[in-house]
Structure 1
Amino acid sequence: MCSNISLTTLQSWRERPPFSYSVKVKNLSELGSSTLHSDGKYQSRRFSSGDYKWRLIIYPKGNDKDNGSGFISMYVEIDSTSLVSTTPTEVYADLRFFVFNKKENKYFTIQDVESKPFNTLRTMWGFSQVLPLSTFNDNKNGYLFDGDHSEFGVDVMVAPPPAKWEILCLDVQLPYPKFSWTVKQFSEIKSDIHTSNSFSMGGMKWALKLYPKGYSIRDNKWLSIFLSLDDSEVLKEDEKVYVKANLRVQNPSGSNHLTRELNRWCDIPGVGYGWDHMVSIAELRKSYLDKEDTLIVEIEFKVVSATKYSSFT
């Protein structure tokens, strides 16, 4: 059972009646007498919500065992047989309890902002202190009307189990994190773009792209280098891949390599991510081409994200 009023409890007024279930009592004092042999509680007929069966439970004189003495106590109980026959075996539900006030012509409502877990160990949740009996029983307050009539209700909003999800892993262990590309006779390349063979990394295929004359005509004094997902890759809708890597233009001397860190989300195969101005052509010829006019570009991957999606996404 539940607890008294807490910081997570909301109280309000609502004109719309409860949509899950209501109990209209035409002689509340007699209802109180009828519960003497049922532990002080009245159990409603079972009703359905979210493919489960429930009961509204009312303690007209308060649930003494749950610190509800002097209050109206209200709970909702799930039918335990519906837990056994369904999956999952734990059900989360948002609960809102109602007491009609004829004077206001509205329903006093009380709810907890947190969903409640129903399972075989705990089948009942609610409030032991919904309304003080001194307030409820005073006819001028409007909760008792037309002699000794009253109305109680509940909304049970069952949260469905998560059907759509993704699991993002950013700590991928890459057994062979490096790819080296040897570009021979660099100065003889006539095309505007020079692309490496595709290679696999982190479960995806990639390619490096060189622009020997720069990415644009205005940048023809610079070498541009980009990493891209291979054109053959097909991503799911809104899928993206995070990559963190060090891209190097190697110095033939074996040291003083030119290194840049790439840190990007890639979401369109064939689109490159890197640097328009990786190194000037003048500096490239001076420091990074060997005597055979060979350029070596290496990329070392630190992280390649991997994402699993539910089959319903």
Structure 2
Amino acid sequence: MSSNISSTTLKSWRERSPSSFALKVEILSELQSSTLYSDGKYKSSRFSSGGYDWRMIIYPEGNDKDNGSGFISMYVEIDSTSLVSTQQSEVHADLRFFIFNKKENKYFTIQDVESKRFNTLRTVCGLPQVLALDTFNNPKNGYIFDGDHCEFGVDVIVAPPPTKWEILSFGERLPYPKFSWIVKNFSKINENPHISNSFSMGGKNWVVKLYPKGYSTHNNKWLSIFLFLEDGEILKEDEKVYVEADLKVKDPLGSNHLSYELNWWLEKAGTGLGWDHYVSSADLRKTYLDKEDTLKVEIVFKVVSTTKYSSFT
């Protein structure tokens, strides 16, 4: 049996009694004498917590083998048969130990902020230095009361295994990161929006929507451009997709393309990522439509996040 003394233990006072198990000792001196014949320790009866059976172990005069000399030492032991019956290879639990103080009418409480791991090879965990014996044994301090009474306790909080995993990835390679769209006879387009063919990127199907008359009636002197998930592409509950891309309206006479960087989370199907005021209608006609009234739009994707889900039952 061993337990490293940790600087991460937390000490406090609590009015509420232990929720997992309590041991009330009516004659402490008899308990101390009895442990001379049980390797210095007292094992409690079994109690259940988190679907497993446990025992509390107390060294009323300290566990010398675990650097507990001069202290009350307290541990819990998992019943290994309950591990077998639940088919779990190991159990993680948070442990909180208590010693009642009648003077304060509260419980002195100590816990390790790190969970303890129990398995068939390590069935006992705890704290060797719970409370100094000099403090505990002095009746004036309130831990020994009504003659020779005292009370110990423990909370064993079992951490359940995860029921669901979410794996979010930003690094999947995009084999064909570019989407190009040639829009012919742009000035004759009547529909608003004008929608591209669908294309696949990052495991999702997308469309680009052009609003030649603006996204709203207040912006009819602007071209609006948005990236949408294709109709029918459904996001799972709470799923969201991060997109990082460069969206360009190309200059037909050279390389002075109009480019904006898109980086945003798409959190709901039916909403788009883009710009209401991408370029004014006047600048569009002047610079970005060629002689055949053709507009060229291009998106180069850098990142499209993907999310995988796994459930455990």
Separation in 2, partners of 1:103, 1:251: 84
Q: 2:277 is aligned with what amino acid?
A: H
1:165-184 to 2 correspondence within 5 Å?
A: 165-184=165-184
Instruction: Determine the structure 2 residue equivalent to 1:41.
Output: 41
Question: C-alpha distance in 2, partners of 1:291/1:87?
Answer: 74
1:23 corresponds to: 23
CA distance in 2, matches of 1:39, 1:148: 22
Contact 1:239 1:267 in 2 (8 A): yes
Equivalent residue letter for 1:3: N
Structure 1 position 58, deviation (Å): 0.5
- Is the 2:179–2:299 Cα contact (8 Å) retained in structure 1? yes
TM-score (norm 1): 0.92
Is 1:66 the counterpart of 2:66? The answer is yes
Contact 1:229–1:268 at 8 Å: present in 2 too?
no
What whole-Å deviation, never above 9, does each CA across 1:44-76 have from its counterpart, x for those lacking one? 122111011111000011101111112211111
Structure 1 297/84 Cα, relative in aligned 2: closer, same or farther at 3 Å?
Answer: same
Is residue 162–residue 312 contact of structure 2 (8 Å, CA) maintained in 1?
Answer: no
Partners of 2:13 and 2:107 within 8 A in 1: yes
Partner residue of 1:228?
Answer: 228
Aligned counterparts of 1:188 and 1:287: Cα–Cα separation in 2:
18
Letter in 1 for 2:149: H
- 2 CA distance for matches of 1:113 and 1:157? 12
Q: Distance in 1 between matches of 2:94 and 2:203?
A: 41
Give the partner amino acid of 1:256: N
The Cα of 1:280 is off from its aligned counterpart by 2.4
Q: Which amino acid aligns with 2:28?
A: L
Larger mean CA deviation between 207-216 and 7-16 belongs to 7-16
CA distance in 1 between counterparts of 2:135 and 2:223 reads 82
Hey, what's the Cα distance between the residues in 1 that align with 2:89 and 2:254? 62
Unaligned runs of 5+ in 2: none
The 5 Å alignment of 1:176-195 reads: 176-195=176-195
| Rounded Cα–Cα distance in structure 2 between residues aligned with 1:131 and 1:286 | 83
* Residue type at the aligned position of 1:2: S
Report the AA paired with residue 227 of structure 1: L
> Which residue is 1:296 aligned to?
296
Note the alpha carbon deviations across 1:216-238, whole angstroms, 9 max, x for none. 33433322111111221112222
5+ long unaligned stretches in structure 1: none
Cα distance, 1:168–1:194 mapped onto 2, change above 3 Å: same
Identify the residue that residue 256 of structure 1 maps to in structure 2: 256
Matched, 1:3 2:13: no
Aligned to 1:244: 244
Structure 1 residue 312, shift from structure 2 partner: 7.3
Provide Cα deviations, 1:2-59, integer angstroms capped at 9, x if missing partner: 234x542222222222121112222222222222232111111221110111110000
Distance verdict in 2 for CA 1:152–1:303, change over 3 Å: same
Percentage of pairs with the same residue: 73
Contact (CA 8 Å) 1:198, 1:207: kept in 2 or not? yes
**TM-score, normalised with respect to structure 2:** 0.92
Which region of structure 1 is more displaced relative to structure 2, 168-177 or 276-285? 276-285
SS, match of residue 285 in structure 2: helix
Match of 1:146 in 2: 146
Aligned to 1:305: 305
Give the letter for the 1:234 counterpart: I
Work out the CA distance in 2 between the residues paired with 1:107 and 1:275. 61
Aligned residues: 312
Residue in 1 that maps onto 2:127: 127
Contact 1:252–1:289 (8 Å) recurs in 2: yes
Which letter maps to 2:301?
Answer: F
- C-alpha change, 1:58 and 1:259, in structure 2 (3 Å) is same
Opposite residue 29 of structure 2, the aligned amino acid is: S
